[in-house]
Amino acid sequence: MDKLTSQQRSKCMSRIRSADTKPELIVRRWLWSRGYRYRKNCRRLPGTPDIVLRRYGAAIFVHGCFWHGHESHLRLPKTNVEFWEKKIARNRERDEQNKAKLREMGWSVLTVWECQLRPPVRHATLMEIESFLNRSFLARHGDVKKVRSYSYGEEVVPMAAEPEE
Ligand SMILES: [Zn+2]
């Protein structure tokens, strides 16, 4: 028997919807809406990057601030401090190694932190991601003819367009 009241049920549904606002989904949806195509969770590459744009030579990690130990505001739980310290230090070390490997393989690597996708700073972060992709594209292809200009409000941001096929 379904014992949920309609209020409980809508609470339940909103929880499901909020799962769609996970940090990497924010980035993926935005990239998709801007016309970028990507692979997700690319297991063949070191560290399984969350988003890979092959033509741009770009790998993006969207990191949770706690598990990946975002330095600027890391706060450990008050119990088992040593355990958490070790665990997070290990995660960070592994992240660094994976990113170094990717760079050696010729990829441009970007880390986006969960806290950088909170509404007040989200737009700036997404613009930063696009600028990273443009730089990465140019570093890889180095062809000025492929650069178009897109304007955001008053500001003109150069954008690397993918070649037409
Ligand atoms: Zn953070």
Where along the chain do its domains lie?
17-136
Residue position matching structure tokens 């941001």:
157
How far, in Å, from the CA of 3 to the mean position of ligand 1?
39
Q: What is the pairing mode between strands 108-113 and 58-63?
A: parallel
Length of the chain: 165
Judged against a pLDDT cut of 50, whether residue 160 lies above it is answered with: no
- Cα(153)–Cα(6) distance, rounded to whole angstroms? 44
Find, among 12, 9, 29, the residue nearest to 20 by Cα.
29
How far, in Å, from the CA of 38 to the mean position of ligand 1?
24
How far, in Å, from the CA of 81 to the mean position of ligand 1?
19
Least reliable range by pLDDT among 17-26, 32-41, 81-90, 143-152: 143-152
Judged against a pLDDT cut of 90, whether residue 4 lies above it is answered with: no
How far, in Å, from the CA of 146 to the mean position of ligand 1?
35
Report the CATH fold assignment for 17-136. Endonuclease; Chain A (3.40.960)
What does the mean pLDDT of the chain come to? 82
Q: Any bridge partners for residue 150, and if so which?
A: 157
- Cα(145)–Cα(61) distance, rounded to whole angstroms? 29
pLDDT of residue 75: 85
Find, among 155, 148, 111, the residue nearest to 129 by Cα.
111
CB 108 within 8 A of CB 53: no
How far, in Å, from the CA of 15 to the mean position of ligand 1?
22
Judged against a pLDDT cut of 60, whether residue 162 lies above it is answered with: no
- Cα(13)–Cα(19) distance, rounded to whole angstroms? 10
Alpha-helical (H) ranges within 105-160 are 119-141
Residue 61 has φ and ψ, to the nearest 5°, of -105, 130
pLDDT of residue 74: 83
The tokens describing 60, both together, are 């993006």
pLDDT of residue 114: 95
The tokens describing 155, both together, are 């500001």
pLDDT of residue 17: 46
How far, in Å, from the CA of 52 to the mean position of ligand 1?
22
Q: Any bridge partners for residue 9, and if so which?
A: none
Predicted structure pTM score = 0.74
